[in-house]
């Protein structure tokens, strides 16, 4: 079936091939920032007493909504505001569909001191080494575009180089991809094949998430009331991007949201 996710994955395979030939994993491990940048734990940040639990996202556009902000928007003012009270920061690094790049990731790492998630469509172990080299603390593994064996392999490799991982699922079937190697489980309320959103997906799946895996809810969260409901259900993390990025001043929108949450 032709859908948005299939289109993105096909484009991603084509995109990374020339870079893999130019910079193999060994080059990242040898010459990248592996040894320079310390890792920050998203799990610890989410579980810290008093944590907002918010993983605030920086993204310029989406396939379903188009551009929120143009390419000229600098990452630093936005993520610096996020850094004050967020539990973590998510950075979209896909260019073609989300208007992001790896410079956004490394700039975020340099000017913040909370965990940074590289949000992209990871389909190859090479991208995990790349994420580490550009400053990520956490990677996203999307069940909808990976096999259970790939999730296990990729999460194990992430662990081996000091990264945490979030397994993103949208339904009970995809929870079958969960394994010991995965650090956290994220429930995406957005169907990546149709881009329809329903936060009840998170509420329906929470009890089925394996014990010991901190649960994160993603997409469609636009109100303090939604966070209260999802937190009461047991979720520790709340990934929010569009709600802030669509505003004239995303950093200020985030700060005002947190005031309402308190």
* Active-site amino acid positions: 57, 59, 119, 168, 188, 218-219
Tell how many helices (H) and how many strands (E) occur in the chain: 11, 10
| Chain centre distance of CA 149 | 21
Residue among 227, 255, 241 at smallest CA distance from 59: 241
Strands 237-240 and 54-58: parallel
Q: How far apart are CA 106 and CA 212, in angstroms?
A: 30
* Local structure of 71: helix, strand or coil: coil
Q: How far apart are CA 197 and CA 191, in angstroms?
A: 6
Q: Which residues contact 210 (CB under 8 A, 6 or more apart)?
A: 178, 185
Q: How far apart are CA 231 and CA 128, in angstroms?
A: 30
Alpha-carbon distances of 128 from 105, 125, 172, 187, rounded to whole Å: 13, 5, 26, 21
Q: How far apart are CA 78 and CA 191, in angstroms?
A: 27
């Amino acid at each position: 079936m032709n859908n948005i996710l299939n289109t993105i994955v096909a484009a991603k395979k084509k995109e990374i091939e020339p870079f893999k030939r130019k910079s193999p994993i060994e080059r990242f491990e040898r010459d990248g920032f592996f040894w320079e940048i310390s890792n920050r734990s998203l799990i610890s940040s989410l579980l810290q007493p008093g944590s907002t639990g918010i993983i605030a996202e920086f993204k310029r556009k989406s396939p379903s909504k188009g551009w929120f902000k143009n390419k000229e928007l600098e990452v630093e003012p936005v993520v610096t505001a996020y850094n004050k009270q967020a539990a973590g920061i998510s950075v979209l690094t896909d260019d073609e569909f989300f208007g992001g790049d790896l410079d956004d990731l490394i700039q975020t790492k340099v000017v913040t001191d909370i965990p940074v998630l590289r949000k992209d469509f990871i389909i190859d172990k090479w991208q995990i080494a790349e994420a580490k080299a550009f400053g990520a603390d956490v990677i996203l593994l999307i069940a909808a575009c990976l096999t259970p064996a790939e999730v296990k392999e990729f999460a194990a490799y992430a662990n081996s180089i000091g990264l945490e991982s979030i397994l993103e699922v949208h339904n009970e079937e995809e929870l079958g991809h969960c394994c010991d190697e995965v650090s956290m489980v994220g429930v995406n309320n957005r169907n990546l094949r149709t881009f329809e959103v329903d936060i009840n997906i998170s509420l329906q799946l929470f009890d089925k998430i394996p014990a010991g895996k901190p649960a994160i809810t993603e997409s469609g969260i636009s109100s303090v009331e939604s966070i209260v409901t999802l937190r009461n259900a047991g979720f520790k993390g709340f990934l929010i991007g569009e709600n802030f990025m669509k505003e004239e001043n995303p950093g200020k929108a985030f700060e005002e949201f947190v005031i309402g949450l308190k």
